[in-house]
A and B are shown apart, each in its own frame.
Chain A
Amino acid sequence: AQKITQTQPGMFVQEKEAVTLDCTYDTSDQSYGLFWYKQPSSGEMIFLIYQGSYDEQNATEGRYSLNFQKARKSANLVISASQLGDSAMYFCAMRGLILTGGGNKLTFGTGTQLKVEL
């Protein structure tokens, strides 16, 4: 069974500052993938960044980077230079074994509500 843990229900950050959102995971799979999604109040889940379990380099996408520490089973999201538009719910998710026939089965954490302040 897979489990994703996000221990920060809410976070505040000043505009232009960097913020780290924590995510730890537990799995017995050798091959897995970790995702971060952003969900504004409108409801859409917006894909931010992906890290494969065999990737040696930490993933980066613009202002987003994923601090992947495999031995500690953590996959923290770092947002640099926060903007007011970054205020949203952020979910960490894991893909485990590939489904027969293809596709992902994502397990989500409970989310972190980020508020960016002036």
Chain B
Amino acid sequence: DTEVTQTPKHLVMGMTNKKSLKCEQHMGHRAMYWYKQKAKKPPELMFVYSYEKLSINESVPSRFSPECPNSSLLNLHLHALQPEDSALYLCASSRAIPGGTEAFFGQGTRLTVV
């Protein structure tokens, strides 16, 4: 099973709402990632979790709050977003070993902030 599952697939939220994006994998991967992708642009790394600990935060605004409750789950909590935060949010996972391996991505959540 090489599947990364993201929910929801689409989300529309107001600027005062609080919502969460969820990501799940059962490949035994201990590295998990959040990427943000604007239309017609490449993905940009937001956060990296390794062994359930946050190892990289790419200077992401605090209105995005990641959480890794266990080795299979990764959440992204959203609060007080701006319209410019509308994008495709991709979750990925990989083995956390030296030498690196391919990252497997989910289908993404298309977020619209109104």
Residues B50 and A99 in contact, CB atoms below 8 Å apart: yes
Residue of B nearest to A103 (CB): B31
Q: Is A110's CB within 8 Å of the partner chain B?
A: yes
B22 within 8 A of A: no
Secondary structure class of chain A's binding surface, majority of residues: loop
Q: Give complex CA distance A99, B88 in Å.
A: 25
In the bound complex, residues from chain A placing their C-beta under 8 Å from that of B108 are 43-44
A68: interface (CB < 8 Å): no
Across the two chains, which residue of chain B brings its CB closest to A49? B102
The complex places the Cα of A99 from the Cα of B27 at a distance, in Å, of 20
Contact residues of A between 17 and 59, Cβ < 8 Å to B: 31, 33, 35, 37, 42-47, 50, 52
Bits for B25-60, please: 1 = Cβ < 8 Å to A, else 0: 000001101000000011101001011010110000
Q: Which of A87-109 contact B (CB under 8 A)?
A: 91, 95, 98-106, 108-109
Q: A101 touching B104 by the CB < 8 A rule?
A: no
8 contacts between A and B (CB under 8 A): A44-B106, A45-B92, A47-B104, A50-B101, A91-B43, A99-B55, A100-B50, A105-B48
Known: A33-B100, A104-B101; 13 extra A-B contacts, CB below 8 A, are A43-B88, A45-B90, A45-B105, A46-B105, A47-B105, A98-B100, A101-B51, A102-B95, A102-B96, A103-B94, A104-B94, A105-B48, A110-B41
